[in-house]
Amino acid sequence: MKKILIASHGEMANGVASTIKIIAGTNENIQTISAYTENIDLDEELDKFISSIKSDDEVFVFTDLYGGSVNQKITLKFTEKSIKANIIAGFNIAVILEIILSSKKLNDSDINEIIKRSRMELKISQLINEETVNESDEFFN
Amino acid sequence: MIKALRVDERLIHGQVAMTWTKALDLTGLIVASDEAASNDIQKMTLKMAAPSNIKTIIKPVDNIINLLKDPRSNDMRLMVLVSTVKDAVKIAKAFPKEIELVNIGNAGKMTPPSEDKKMLTKEVMLTTDEISSLKELIDIYPETFFQGTPNMEKHLAKTILSTYDKEI
């Protein structure tokens, strides 16, 4: 099974889980850690997540900021404990959706492809007239 | 082939672009809306919402009916999006056998409030007029179902309507 953890400084992780629920329709397999908020101890929560991992799980951890303390601690802990996990730093909604909605088992090159594509979703939003297909010949072409 | 006809007042948006396109392995999104087709800005924003690897076209309902009659549409896996149940009925009447799934996603939450609007599910509110359109749609496609995304719970429209009819 895919096992997903979203971790952030502050409440972002919970907010992202709520966004995912609206767009994808479910966030059942997603756990979150909103670090540095009241009653949340990052280490403790991380241990809880790690102990829930089963040997055949595909583990994905999304952290808010590459190099941030949350990402540092998570990367360190997974490395020390030799737990195989895909830790993706500086996530956006697109990358999380692509990963949770993919139905197949993802290998390293699939994951890299998804990251590459999702990275393209971070861009200036502007309306481009040429993008509209107007004629059926263009549509079927 | 028409994999699905969907009523969604938001037409192309996150739920459609991210979930249905994948679940149905779509190659084309077709927006049948007189209103959207006449608004260049809305057309551009809808196009922006569609994944780049999926062909998208936005036309008035009648033009879309003609487009779908083109035999080349058989080679594509299409979702037709309409913003109202009434438009869905028009499409269903033109293609009474050819559509694989008829789905009601989001409706009535963005239109102005009105006295006779009834909440059928969390995502769908319809006026009395639209409810009679829904009945027409069910007559053509009895398996018409309410579902936001493929991961959400699915409800047959006829079941929802029978509960509703009992209440009034």
- The domain ranges of chain A are 2-140
Mean pLDDT for A25-46 is 92
Which residues neighbour B122 within 8 Å (Cβ) at sequence distance 6 or greater?
none
All residue ranges of chain B with pLDDT < 50 are none
Distance CA B155, CA B134 (A): 14
Matching residue, tokens 């006295």: B115
Going by C-alpha positions, the residue among B137, B51, B61, B154 that lies closest to residue B93 is B137
- What are the sequence ranges of the domains in chain B? 2-167
Q: What is the mean pLDDT of chain B?
A: 94
Q: Do B56 and A133 touch (CB under 8 A)?
A: yes
pLDDT digits (tens, 9 = 90+) for A3-12: 999 999 999 9
Q: Is A5 left (phi over 0), alpha (psi -120 to 50) or beta?
A: beta
ipTM: 0.76
Main-chain phi, psi angles of A66, to 5 degrees: -65, 130
For A42-70, what is the mean pLDDT?
A: 95
CB contact under 8 A, B44 and A26: no
Residues of B in contact with A133 (CB under 8 A): 47, 55-57
B116-136 per-position pLDDT tens digit: 899 999 999 999 999 999 999
**Looking at residue A26, what is its pLDDT?**
87
For residue A141, with 0-12 CB atoms within 10 Å meaning exposed, 13-18 middle and 19 or more buried, which class applies? exposed
Answer yes or no: is pLDDT of A95 > 90.
yes
> What separation in angstroms does the CA of B41 have from each of A109, A126, B38, B85?
38, 11, 9, 24
Higher local confidence (pLDDT), B116 or A74? A74
Q: Taking a C-beta distance cutoff of 8 angstroms, is the pair A8, A34 a contact?
A: yes
Instruction: Give the span between the Cα atoms of B125 and B160, in whole angstroms.
Output: 12
CATH number for B2-167: choose from 3.40.50.1820, 3.90.198.10, 3.10.129.10, 3.40.35.10.
3.40.35.10
Given this model, what pLDDT does residue A133 score? 60
pLDDT for B112: 84
CB contact under 8 A, A132 and B148: no
> Is A107 at the interface with chain B, CB within 8 A?
no
> Quick one: pLDDT band at residue A29, thresholds 50, 70, 90?
confident
> Touching check for B110 and chain A: CB below 8 Å?
no
- Is 90 exceeded by the pLDDT of residue A132? no
pTM of the entire predicted model: 0.85
| Disruptive mutation site among B47, B79, B106, B122 for chain A (greatest number of A CBs within 10 Å) | B47
User: Which pLDDT score, from 0 to 100, does residue B2 have?
Assistant: 97
Residue at token pair 């033109």: B94
The three-point CA angle A47-A48-A54 to 5° equals: 95
Residue A131 scores a pLDDT above 60: no
Q: Which CATH number fits domain A2-140: 1.10.3720.10, 3.40.50.510, 3.30.1330.10, 3.30.70.20?
A: 3.40.50.510
